[in-house]
Amino acid sequence: MAARLKVFVTSDGLTDYVIATTSKAKALAAWGISQDAFQRGHARETDDPALVKAATARPDEVLRRPVRGARGKVAQLNPAKPAKPKGPTKAQLKKIADLEAQLTALDERLEAGRAEIARDEAALAKRRASLEAKTGAERSRLQARLATARQAPG
């Protein structure tokens, strides 16, 4: 069974805000109010037939009307403009751009370091090959001399 809609109204002094919803908490959320405006007397449930008819035709939608001289004119009830989602501030965007730039620079340093290590590894491999070639030739000569020395009469 669907919950019964109630019609709530609040005002900022210039505009009345009306909503048909199932609870005071949902009305406060729709109005974007975090404090209990009902407890403070800034919002109330209404049974005004014109407001009830207009609001229940558009449940869970905030309707607004000017306060001055429009109290009985339900025809002036209009949907409230939905709050624009707040995007990041300029400072947040700058911080994000700075962090992205730092991350890119870090990645570039990593790649440069890897390239340097690869060059060092290639140079070390070349030195190892050269050392092994020199000692290999020297070893062959020494082994030949050792074999000759072992065969010589003593």
8-32 pLDDT, tens digit each: 998 887 888 899 999 888 988 888 8
Query: CB of 42 within 8 A of CB of 80?
Result: no
Domain termination residue (choose one: 29, 56, 79): 79
Rg of the chain on CA atoms, in Å: 42
Number of domains composing the chain = 2
Q: Flag whether 107 is in a domain.
A: yes
Which tens digit of pLDDT belongs to each residue from 98-119?
Answer: 999 999 999 999 999 999 999 9
Q: 31, 56, 79 — which closes off a domain?
A: 79
The verdict on residue 1 lying in a domain is no
